[in-house]
């Protein structure tokens, strides 16, 4: 089945074609340069840029897949969570195409999409597995029992891990998006030169606001003066504090629930130190680790098309009056149980 996926929940306009679980194309138009001057995503700019990009991104995805739009048998589109104005652009494009081509359309949960990116790997996870979804908006640990069956085991009480990266980079004036810059700089630093706190050690939940405050205090104490090598040490220590808790709590969840497979996904899963530490921890604890390649960790439409294909094959589809949803927690309403969401 040829499925076109469309994603526009934040600052990436993306389209992809999947057929029988195989990725045929994956096109992403990033808006990074449009938002970098503001140090974060400006929702109004994001919606306008999505409108400018969406048609050509879809056309490129079709061309890369080497098929005509008429061959598409179903459309999967991110319905939420995300920025409403951004979501509406992808949703409108998806509905227009579904109507014009007379094919089904299905609305997909973005978080569930991130998890299902692991199903595009050659070796796929089997249920049940533990999933850490770690992005700019979420830091959640789930026990995934089956398609659309999630138990939320832990979540952040304040900032998401990606937000903690982005805010630190902004504070240190390192550029945007923060996660990528810090990842690169931290490679040159020592993670032990500066000590940062690890919060809520005995809880399955996360908190990153104290970490951010300790960085702010450090910056203020020094009047913002750091040599380049001190700065590299600072970001390495800061990154290590985030990575430590992400790895610790996820591994602990797997051991506590006696689940041997672990999926790590979402934008922060592109972090090289996180990938390295998870690989070591999995070896140590005899866990099987599934981390999608970087391009499938940050926002993309391949994950939406992959999940959409599974849903469409199971007879799921939505009516053309489905609306975007800004908040859509996974454990209470998965992609196929969204009847309560309007």
Residues 67, 70: Cα–Cα separation, whole Å? 8
Residue 33, phi then psi, degrees to nearest 5: -65, -25
Beta strands in 48-169 (DSSP E): 74-80, 105-109, 129-134, 139-146, 149-155
165 lies in the binding site for ligand KG4 (CB under 6 A): yes
Minimum CB separation of residue 47 from ligand KG4 in Å reads 16
Minimum CB separation of residue 175 from Zn ion in Å reads 20
Q: Which of 236, 237, 303, 311 is nearest to 265 (CA)?
A: 303
- Binding-site size for ligand KG4 (CB under 6 A) equals 19
Site mask for ligand KG4 (CB under 6 A), range 256-295, x = bound: ----------xxx-xx------------------------
237 lies in the binding site for ligand KG4 (CB under 6 A): no
Q: Which of 102, 23, 6, 11 is nearest to 58 (CA)?
A: 6
Please say which residue, 74 or 292, places its beta carbon nearer to Zn ion: 292
Q: How many CB atoms lie within 10 A of CB 321?
A: 7
Please say which residue, 120 or 268, places its beta carbon nearer to ligand KG4: 268
Minimum CB separation of residue 266 from ligand KG4 in Å reads 5
Question: Which of Zn ion, ligand KG4, none binds 166 (CB below 5-8 Å, type-dependent)?
Answer: ligand KG4
Structure tokens at 298: 């940050």
Which residues face 109 on adjacent strands? Answer: 80
12 lies in the binding site for Zn ion (CB under 5 A): no
* Location of structure tokens 């994603």: 7
Minimum CB separation of residue 144 from ligand KG4 in Å reads 18
Residue among 8, 78, 135, 261 that touches Zn ion (CB under 5 A): 135
Residues 101, 249: Cα–Cα separation, whole Å? 46
Question: Which of ligand KG4, Zn ion, none binds 128 (CB below 5-8 Å, type-dependent)?
Answer: none
Q: CB neighbours of 102 closer than 8 A, spacing ≥ 6?
A: none
6 lies in the binding site for ligand KG4 (CB under 6 A): no
* DSSP secondary structure of 47-89: HHHHHHHHHHHHHHHHHHHT--GGG--EEEEEEESS-HHHHHH
Question: Which of ligand KG4, Zn ion, none binds 177 (CB below 5-8 Å, type-dependent)?
Answer: ligand KG4
Structure tokens at 42: 């400006």
299 lies in the binding site for Zn ion (CB under 5 A): yes
Q: Which residues of the chain form contacts with ligand KG4 (CB under 6 A)?
A: 10, 135-137, 162, 165-166, 177-180, 183, 266-268, 270-271, 298-299
């Amino acid at each position: 089945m040829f499925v076109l996926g469309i994603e526009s929940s934040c600052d990436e306009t993306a389209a992809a074609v999947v057929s029988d679980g195989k990725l045929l194309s994956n096109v992403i138009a990033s808006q990074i340069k449009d938002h970098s001057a503001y140090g974060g995503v400006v929702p109004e700019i994001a919606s306008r840029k999505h409108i400018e990009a969406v048609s050509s991104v879809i056309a490129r995805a079709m061309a890369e897949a080497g098929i005509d739009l008429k061959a598409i048998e179903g459309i999967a589109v991110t319905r939420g969570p995300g920025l409403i104005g951004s979501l509406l652009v992808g949703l409108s494009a998806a509905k227009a195409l579904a109507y014009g081509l007379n094919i089904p359309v299905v609305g997909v949960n973005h978080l569930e999409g991130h998890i299902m990116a692991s199903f595009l790997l050659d070796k796929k996870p089997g249920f049940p597995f533990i999933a850490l979804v770690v992005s700019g908006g979420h830091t959640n640990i789930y026990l995934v029992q089956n398609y659309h069956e999630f138990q939320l085991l832990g979540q952040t009480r304040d900032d998401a891990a990606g937000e903690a990266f982005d805010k630190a980079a902004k504070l240190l004036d390192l550029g945007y998006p923060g996660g990528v810059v810090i990842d690169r700089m931290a490679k040159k630093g020592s993670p032990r030169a500066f000590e940062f706190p690890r919060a809520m050690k005995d809880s399955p939940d996360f908190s990153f606001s104290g970490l951010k405050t300790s960085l702010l205090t450090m910056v203020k104490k020094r009047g913002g003066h750091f040599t380049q090598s001190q700065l590299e040490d600072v970001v390495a220590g800061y990154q290590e504090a985030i990575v430590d808790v992400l790895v610790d709590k996820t591994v602990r969840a797997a051991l506590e629930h006696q689940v041997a497979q672990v999926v790590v996904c979402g934008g922060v899963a592109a972090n090289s130190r996180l990938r390295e530490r998870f690989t070591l921890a999995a070896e140590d604890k005899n866990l099987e680790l599934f981390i999608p390649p970087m391009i499938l960790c940050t926002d993309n439409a391949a994950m939406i098309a992959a999940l959409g294909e599974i849903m469409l094959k199971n007879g799921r589809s939505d009516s053309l009056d489905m609306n975007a949803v800004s908040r859509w927690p996974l454990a209470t309403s998965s992609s196929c149980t969204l009847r309560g969401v309007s």
